[in-house]
Amino acid sequence: MSRIWTYFSNSTVHGFNYIADERRHWTERLFWILTCFISAYATWQYLQATWYAYNHNAVSFVTDTTYLSWNTSFLSLSVCEQESPDKLYESAAKIYGDDRNPNIDFYLRDIAFYDGACYSCIAHCQKETLNCSTNYDTIIREVRAQCKDLIGNCSWNKKPFECCDQFLPVTTENGVCFIINSLHTTKRDGEKLKMISNRQLGPGRLTFTAYESIKLYIHSPEDIPYVNHPQEEKFLLSWGTSFFMRYQVKEIENDPLLKEVAITQRNCRFPDENNLHVYDIYSNSACIVNCRAEAILKKCNCTPHYLRISGTPICGVEGLSCVTEYSEMFRSLKTYDFNKLGLVCNCVPSCTEPEYNVLTLITDNGYFENQDDQDDQGSNYESIVDIRLDRLPNERLKRNVVRSRMDLIVSIGGTLGLFLGMSLLSIVEIIYYFIVWTHGKPQTINIKSEKSIQNINNLPFLH
């Protein structure tokens, strides 16, 4: 108790020395006790508000319109092969012969164009009516088309380039797709095509020819096509059908200090802040795919051949049958408070993910017949794809840090100084008196032995 009394007598915290001073009238000391208590309570309330604001309102969005010097990135486009019954029949005949069981065609389809379920595994393979091979790589290689057999005649802003040098393969939930302008791809030789639009180059335009029926997915460079891909950003292009699309983009620019803010505070992740097992680049879609793969591994003790996690077994017939049995749950997403079948993934968005808005979408066999770009026209057996940025953006969102760690320190220091008159040395003082100062008995002030002071109160009513 004497140590506490000594601290109060010598503390630099405002008011404590008045409380410990026995020469003062008891009403004055009571006044300072109440004053210090009220100040301490107000300090606690303001510190709580400061901490809440730091954790929940550390980031704000503003609209930026300084567009003259912007470099706008083109969207990322995924081209995925659409299954063809004729090609499946030819591949099955090549692998198993003409006298095969017709049901093997369905098994080849379920493996090569896997979409989260293998119904033939349950209907035929488990009943041992088919000899279902688990050599998935051979089946995929025989059934799926290569890049050169899928697309060609590529051009960027009317400058031709070799399609398969820029449309690079990425394994997705639905098989291997060919993606341009993606962070998930690495070019072994040469550089990737710089798909930038600005005031010097004008709005970007990508065209190419598709030789087969394909599925097109538009997304940001860090994203990938997946089962839950937004309906307005995926398109089925039948063989011989032309596809024309104009779009707008609203990008997000981030404060350089944003990386110093915790992920839980800013509620987003940068692509290089990866915590996934399936992909090396973080995005919201990659996180959902990773969540699905981990849920399948937990439920069925394996992962499908298109969702491989390093060090885990690949699903055989029994594993794919298990995945098919729970496919409705694996395909659906939900939140904690929603009572329905599905996965709870808790995937935060990417910090750099832009917003795309499709303005014009035309799919027509004869659309290009009346266009001026005669060189873009294909034969009746080819599909022409033409995707353009409608115009250069004149605004974008900017994510600013409004409460950094330094702001938190300054706010805490200001609150302590305003209500209690404390500083950093005052905190050191507490540590000194109660932890560091351990040798000998603390010296106390003996008021009675001091020179007699008749009255130090300046308040007349206390005389």
Residue 86 has, within 13 A of its CA and on its CB side, a CA count of 3
Q: Is the pLDDT of residue 460 over 60?
A: no
Give the β-pairing of 383-389 and 242-250: parallel
Task: With CA atoms as reference, report the closest residue to 55 among 406, 417, 405.
Answer: 405
Residue 374's pLDDT band, with cuts at 50, 70 and 90, is: very low
Separation in Å, CA 165 to CA 105, 271, 354? 32, 23, 25
Give the β-pairing of 214-219 and 59-64: unpaired
SS3 state at 95? helix
Give the β-pairing of 396-401 and 59-64: antiparallel
Domain ranges of the chain: 2-57+404-462, 72-400
pLDDT tens-digit series, residues 235-255:
998 888 889 999 999 999 999
Mean pLDDT of all residues in 390-418: 88
Lowest mean pLDDT among 61-65, 197-201, 352-356, 389-393: 61-65
Q: Is the pLDDT of residue 372 over 60?
A: no
Residue 459's pLDDT band, with cuts at 50, 70 and 90, is: very low
pLDDT at 462: 46
Residue 451's pLDDT band, with cuts at 50, 70 and 90, is: very low
